[in-house]
Amino acid sequence: MSTSSLTISRILHAGYVVECGGTRIAFDTIFENPFSRNCHAFPDVRFDQKQIRRLRFDAVFISHFHDDHCSLESLDLLDRATPLYIYCIFEELFEMVSQLGFERVHPLRLNEPVEVGAFEVVPREAMDADVDSMFQVKAAGLNLLNVVDSWIDEETLAKLVGEGPWDMVLWPFQTMRELEVLAPSRAVAAPPALPEEWLPQLKALNPRYVVPSSCQFLQEPWSWYNRAFFPISYAQFGREVAAALPQAQVVRLEPGMSVRLDATSLQPAPPLGWVIPVGCQDVDYVYEGIATPPSTADIARHFAPLTEAQHARVMEYCRTTLPMKYAEVEAASGYFDSPRVWQLSVYDHTGAATRLRYRLEADGVACLDEDAAPLAWTTDIPAAKLYAALELGESLTSMYMRINDTVFDAETERELADADVVDDPLIRCLFSATFGAYQAAQLRRLLEASSS
């Protein structure tokens, strides 16, 4: 491997392998399809896990704790002597990774370089510094910015411009309509353009090459999210960036693809042998706005029935745990400063709903009240997804929760205009005080499997 060039290979989503002068490092290693339970690789790939187990990385860097970037089931395929560098403010994640058996686990500090062979890797501050980080990668006289899937504020942008010139930027090209799909009857379609700050930021960075990065997935094949969740296509991103940065080249890297970057050119390189393309790789996103979605009853019919014990777990949570939990979570915004009647509808695999009504008080008290009226908030969810959130670490973006999908009385509608969808009582009770539920569930499964 030449010491005057970098080989950059795409794994999947925000995952990359970068090699220089005999040193091989990786970022956000996800070796699963689907990952995060229902993120299906787009384009489709499979992984040769036997080959992955034989890989030896000089270091692995993880940008943040979200399960599409830090998966213990993927890390479980790696040699336990691999140095792991993780950006996370929560000690629990480091404890979980150590329990998995990794011997060299290091917290990353913003702007503090890490030297690994030919590389200098510098974590840079993202807009949400409590969650995300970005990576500046320097080797062979070349300068690469891996934005992962974060956003950049103006102060950080100025610092990054000062770190230039940039040879390549891995840019998170896709926005996601995570909140809009929770309340589709109240959402508006995304504008048919890139976010207004992206092109000025890319112009300021002025890279030689731009790779549309992150977000290489769809939900289940039947999911209505696949036409409502992702508003930006590769084609649109390429057109707008090429028009704004005529001196730059937009380079699309599919999973497994590799390129060799030097001071004057970018050339194809041998692909990763352990990332195996499946079917057509020349695919793109199609956005239809917040089209009329199927009912939650129809969605629930796609999931397997819960066992009797699993169903009992869901109902015990709804009837007993949830009212107690509501008093413990952080207070919501102004809408819930007044008493409200909330209806939670849980749909089984046949599409049948169990409806529970709660009286929510301003002091955080919630009690079941089957006769409470009129309604002021509604939440619909498949029982299988509620169970998965309780026991398997299912994240909000894959739960097919539906909020306020009805028309309330005129006064309630006026007050709802300023309410935040994430103040939903079920969202708050499931996620307000929870960290690493997905990884914790993974760790339980992995430790149980290793001891059996």
The answer to whether position 289 is within a domain reads no
Tell me how many domains the chain contains.
2
The answer to whether position 268 is within a domain reads yes
DSSP string, 83-139: -EEE--S-HHHHHHHHHTT-S-EEE--TT--EEETTEEEEEEE-SSTTT-EEEEEEE
Report DSSP state, residue 204: H
Q: What letter represents residue 85's amino acid?
A: Y
**pLDDT digit string (tens) for the chain, length 452 residues:** 457 899 999 999 999 999 999 999 999 999 999 999 899 999 999 999 999 999 999 999 999 999 999 999 999 999 999 999 999 999 999 999 999 999 999 999 999 999 999 999 999 999 999 999 999 999 999 999 999 999 999 999 999 999 999 999 999 999 999 999 999 999 988 888 899 999 999 999 999 999 999 999 999 999 999 999 999 999 999 999 999 999 999 999 999 999 999 999 999 999 999 999 999 999 999 999 876 799 999 999 999 999 999 999 999 999 999 999 998 887 777 899 999 999 999 999 999 999 999 999 988 888 888 877 799 999 999 999 999 999 999 999 999 999 999 999 999 999 999 899 999 999 999 998 788 999 999 999 999 998 87
Question: Does 330 lie in the same domain as 248?
Answer: no
The answer to whether position 284 is within a domain reads no
CA distances from 122 to 61, 77, 111, 116, 346 (A): 10, 26, 6, 11, 46
Q: Residue 331 sits in which domain range?
A: 296-451
Burial of 375 (0-12, 13-18, 19+ CB in 10 A): middle
> Which residues are CB-contacts of 452 (< 8 A; sequence separation ≥ 6)?
none
Confirm if 17 and 26 have CB atoms less than 8 A apart. Answer: yes
Q: Is the dihedral of CA 277, 279, 280, 286 positive or negative?
A: negative
By residue count, the chain amounts to 452
pLDDT of 260 reads: 98
The pTM assigned to this predicted structure is: 0.95
Question: Does 386 lie in the same domain as 267?
Answer: no
Q: Which of 380, 339, 381 is nearest to 360 (CA)?
A: 339
Of 249, 277, 305, the domain-final residue: 277
The answer to whether position 282 is within a domain reads no
> Which residues are CB-contacts of 275 (< 8 A; sequence separation ≥ 6)?
10, 11, 12, 45, 47, 48, 255, 256
Q: Which of 361, 375, 451, 442 is nearest to 71 (CA)?
A: 442
The answer to whether position 61 is within a domain reads yes
Query: Is cis: bond before 43, omega within 30 of 0?
Result: yes
Question: Does 250 lie in the same domain as 148?
Answer: yes
The answer to whether position 123 is within a domain reads yes
DSSP string, 428-446: HHHHTT--SHHHHHHHHHH
Q: What angle do CA 224, 227, 230 make, to 5 degrees?
A: 120
d(CA 101, CA 103): 6
Q: What is the CATH classification number for the domain harbouring 39?
A: 3.60.15.10
The answer to whether position 143 is within a domain reads yes
Question: Does 243 lie in the same domain as 166?
Answer: yes
Question: Does 249 lie in the same domain as 341?
Answer: no
Question: Does 180 lie in the same domain as 124?
Answer: yes
